[in-house]
Amino acid sequence: MESSTGKDFKIGECQGQKVVDGEVMPLVLLPPEPAKADTESLVAALKKNREWFDQMIIKNSAVLLRGFDVKNAEDFNEIVEACGWADIRYIGPAPRTHIYKRVWTANEGPLSEFIYYHHEMVLFKENPKKVILFCEVPPPEGGETPFVPSFRVTERMLEEFPEEVEEMEKKGLMYTFTAPSANNISSMRGRGWQDAFGTPDPAEAERRVKAMGMDVEWLPDGGLKTIIRPRSLTRVFEGRKGRRMWYNTVVGMHGKEISSATMIDGTEIPDHVVKRCGEILDEESIQFKWEKGDVLFFDNMALLHGRRPSLPPRKVLVATCK
């Protein structure tokens, strides 16, 4: 660690860490001493070391702050604001509740279900560069937030399915997703269109959807079907070693009851390719057991993340940043 930060953080370890392409994921940062474990000291350290901390997130893709006395949404919001990144409002199907200022609940879908790996808001023109998670109540069993280095998925898919990958890349992707007329909290994708797009007015909802580069189809039951195209299979982002990220949600949306993923000309993506991609995602995943007060920073350009099934209670809050 650079000398300028040595007085503010101490490097630690956590079970489940992996070294990927020479970098530890996640990088674990601890209080430098017990007297500096309070939120006030952490906020001051983050403000002092903003540039360095941002570099660590890009370098290691995931940074875990552990051992600090972060108690609640108010403390978490202070930490988020100390980093200096602008807020970006979540848009998507996951049921979420606003808690405090920039803080929301993570996906409130049933804890018994696995949430597929995804880059946050990957389908939209503007998506967050940073996703920040805070564990207020760790689950008694399960409930990990596994994450996957996106470039590793691209590398392995190219090894196993070079022709299929290049066909999808060349043609581009098309997705459809149906938002119900009202919220359905029994589903992890049950957010109604009124909540998802922030208006009860169908005309305004349609305007907002189209402003995000999507087409709209209204269904007889009052639901809203969005058609999203064209979208790329992979992307390369500045400052990330030229890595080709698996920047799509094919596995999560292909062949589902309320969603689909095909090539833009309507060509189906072979089932066995999607199935194997799901296996690769799991094989490349990294996870650790949540502890109370943990704050986890993701580079959303570089990592996909999900959620393991969990026993209750589990309370993880989230903030998304530009």
Q: Tens digit of pLDDT for each residue in 12-32? A: 999 999 999 999 999 999 999
Q: What is the pLDDT of residues 178-227, one digit of tens each?
A: 999 988 767 767 789 998 888 999 999 999 999 988 999 999 999 999 99
Q: What is the pLDDT of residues 273-290, one digit of tens each?
A: 999 999 999 999 999 999
Could you tell me if 24 and 61 are in contact, meaning their C-beta atoms sit under 8 angstroms apart? no
Could you tell me if 92 and 196 are in contact, meaning their C-beta atoms sit under 8 angstroms apart? yes
Q: What is the pLDDT of residues 62-100, one digit of tens each?
A: 999 999 999 999 999 999 999 999 999 887 778 889 999
- Asked if pLDDT for residue 1 goes beyond 50, the answer is no
Going by pLDDT thresholds of 50, 70 and 90, the confidence category of residue 4 is very low
Indicate the pairing of strand 295-299 with strand 23-25: unpaired
263: nearest Cα among 164, 163, 173: 173
Position 5 scores a pLDDT of 63
Separation of alpha carbons 290 and 47, rounded Å:
25
Question: Can you tell me the mean pLDDT for 125-138?
Answer: 96
